[in-house]
Amino acid sequence: MTLAAMVRDREVTTIEGVAAHVNLHPVQAAFIEYDAFQCGYCTAGQVMSAVACIAEGHTGSDEEIAEFMSGNICRCAAYPQIRAAIAAAVGAERGGDVRIRRGLDARRGRWRCSPSPAPRRSRLAPSS
């Protein structure tokens, strides 16, 4: 934890400051795309830690991401989605597309990539 007095006269980036004007930061876009939050209680902290995780180069494997992010508690247990969103954001920052879905291959414990499915119609929308 950092107290405000400890960063007096220094620049501090908050969750509101990671986006570039009207464009979301790749981590924010990935969190939305991968449903990496449920209740929203931990989202700001998770996003800020994910930005730091990427900036500090701790994204070499799912295990490395999990270790770096281990100080953040998610009440809803969205950890797989959070790690997938971070991995996708790394690809987006390297010129890729956030809309690449990643899924855990339970047999191998590794991430596999496949293109995102086409957007589906809402189940609540009336059919024509």
**Model pTM above 0.85:** no
The residue among 107 and 21 whose pLDDT is bigger is: 21
The residue among 69 and 108 whose pLDDT is bigger is: 69
CATH number of 110's domain:
1.10.150.120
Please report whether residue 108 resides in a domain. yes
Please give the residue range of the domain that contains residue 64. Answer: 34-114
Q: Reply yes or no on whether the pLDDT at 44 is more than 90.
A: yes
Please report whether residue 21 resides in a domain. no
The mean pLDDT value for 63-80 works out to 94
Please report whether residue 59 resides in a domain. yes
Highest mean pLDDT among 8-12, 23-27, 47-51, 107-111: 47-51
**What's the rounded Cα separation, in Å, for the pair 35 and 37?**
5
Report the phi/psi class of residue 30: left, alpha or beta, with left for phi > 0 and alpha for psi in -120 to 50: alpha
**What's the rounded Cα separation, in Å, for the pair 26 and 51?**
9
Tokens of residue 46, six digits = 């998770």
Lowest mean pLDDT among 2-16, 41-55, 66-80: 2-16
The mean pLDDT value for 86-94 works out to 85
Please report whether residue 100 resides in a domain. yes
The total number of structural domains that make up the chain: 1
Q: Phi/psi at 25 (nearest 5 deg)?
A: -65, 150
Please report whether residue 52 resides in a domain. yes
Q: What is the per-residue pLDDT across 4-42, written as a single tens digit (0 to 9) for each?
A: 899 999 988 889 899 887 888 999 999 999 999 889 999
Please report whether residue 16 resides in a domain. no
Please report whether residue 119 resides in a domain. no
